[in-house]
Amino acid sequence: MGCITGVVCDGSPLLSDDFSSAQVLSLGSTSYQVELGQIQGTINPLIAAYFGISTSFSASSIQLTLNDPSNPALGNAFVSANYGGTINAADTVAASEDWSLPFSLVFFGLTLAILGLLTRAKVLQVVLWA
């Protein structure tokens, strides 16, 4: 629940999401990094209309850095309501995740073969500058 003045302030959720994995790492005595993975969710329709974006979103991960001066021990809850930090969202990318040197060489060879065929068919011509 939240409020964005002039956009939505009716007590409805601003954002709702689901994630499939979570990891919390200690960055020191009072800082923690929280990483949520494979996130999918919906944005309040009033907010989406205001910014001209879709009401649904997905991200591969979101990383948050939380600072809590109360220094919660492992297994205990955070007691401070104010957390500083940053949120970095990485959009999902529809690309091969196992791209390697053999794939690069095959792609390069295929490109050379296509350029060779286009040159033989006189679609592409070699121009020599004098």
pLDDT digit string, tens, across residues 49-101: 888 888 887 777 777 776 665 555 555 565 554 454 455 555 544 444 567 78
Looking at residue 85, its pLDDT comes to 47
Contact at 8 Å (CB) between 66 and 31? yes
Would you list the DSSP string of 85-121?
Answer: --EEEE----S-TT--HHHHHHHHHHHHHHHHHHHHT
**Is 70 exceeded by the pLDDT of residue 104?**
yes
Average of per-residue pLDDT values in the chain: 74
pLDDT value at 14 more than 70: yes
Residues 16/45, Cβ–Cβ less than 8 Å: no
Give residue 114's pLDDT: 94
Q: What is the pLDDT of residue 112?
A: 95
**For 105-115, what is each residue's pLDDT tens digit?**
999 999 999 99
Average pLDDT over residues 14-20: 79
Q: Judge whether 32 and 65 are in contact, CB under 8 Å.
A: yes
Write down the pLDDT at residue 94: 47
User: What is the arithmetic mean of pLDDT over 6-32?
Assistant: 78
- Is this structure's pTM higher than 0.85? no
Angle at 82 between CA 77 and CA 87, to 5 degrees: 95
CA terminus-to-terminus distance, the chain: 71
Which pLDDT score is estimated for 117?
93
CB within 8 A of 17, min separation 6: which ones? 39, 40, 41, 42, 57
